[in-house]
Chains A and B, each alone.
Chain A
Amino acid sequence: NAGVTQTPKFQVLKTGQSMTLQCAQDMNHEYMSWYRQDPGMGLRLIHYSVGAGITDQGEVPNGYNVSRSTTEDFPLRLLSAAPSQTSVYFCASSPRTGTYNEQFFGPGTRLTVL
């Protein structure tokens, strides 16, 4: 199994540009989520999905869209990039929603918005 994969690894955008960060998992996990990590801030939840066709907002959803058309994929779209969205983005998945499940993280995408 490849686990959780993310593409691209690095990306530089100009303010106002849009892009999609890709996330895929091959473990048939129901739950997937997106976090951003900023220096000194830990990880903050952007959006999450408890299954195909179901998404919900996390702590910092503004400026981001998600969709979950398949179990495997959970792309994160930046609608109009802003410098405040410069961050490292992590995708994670979990076997099933519920109380006692660890999350598996991808390697991250480092995004710079100029």
Chain B
Amino acid sequence: SQQGEEDPQALSIQEGENATMNCSYKTSINNLQWYRQNSGRGLVHLILIRSNEREKHSGRLRVTLDTSKKSSSLLITASRAADTASYFCATDAKGYSTLTFGKGTMLLVSP
């Protein structure tokens, strides 16, 4: 069964706007990770946030984690057309790098 569930399923914005995607999960986790998948390609790791962290930044990415609500959000600031992709959250509950993925958010950034 899916551990993480992303919201929204699809998001369409203009270049320069910010994009926010949310992820909810069901059980306690060791860490939560976000991945990007361009059409027809493999997944690329974006950022990892540990269960004892609340916020993390990497370039134009900002991730928050609220373990009390079992939720996370990914913010992409000043979006570019190249950010068009599907974004997945993945949780690591067992601590063996055994990830459980959500169904993903499809982001479309129009020029």
Contacts and interface: CB of A to CB of B under 8 A. Distances in A.
B103 A103 contact: no
A114 interface: no
B48 to A, nearest CB: 6
B97 A108 contact: no
Interface string B87-106: 01010100111111111100
Interface stretch (A13-21, A69-77, A78-86, A94-102): A94-102
B53 to A, nearest CB: 10
A98 B95 contact: yes
Contacts of A43: 43, 88, 90, 99, 101
B103 A42 contact: yes
B47 to A, nearest CB: 9
Interface string A38-77: 0011111100101000000011000000000000000000
Contact of A90 (B43, B48, B50, B103): B43
A25 B36 CA distance: 20
B29 to A, nearest CB: 10
B83 to A, nearest CB: 18
B96 A40 contact: no
B87 to A, nearest CB: 11
Interface residues of A, number: 29
Interface string B64-96: 000000000000000000000000101010011
B31 interface: yes
A105 B97 contact: no
B41 A33 contact: no
A8 interface: no
B46 to A, nearest CB: 9
A98 B42 contact: no
B96 A107 contact: no
A103 B41 contact: no
B33 interface: yes
13 contacts: A33-B99, A40-B103, A42-B88, A43-B90, A45-B100, A48-B98, A58-B98, A94-B97, A98-B96, A99-B92, A103-B45, A105-B35, A108-B42
In order of increasing CB-CB distance, the 3 nearest A-B pairs are A105-B42, A102-B45, A43-B101
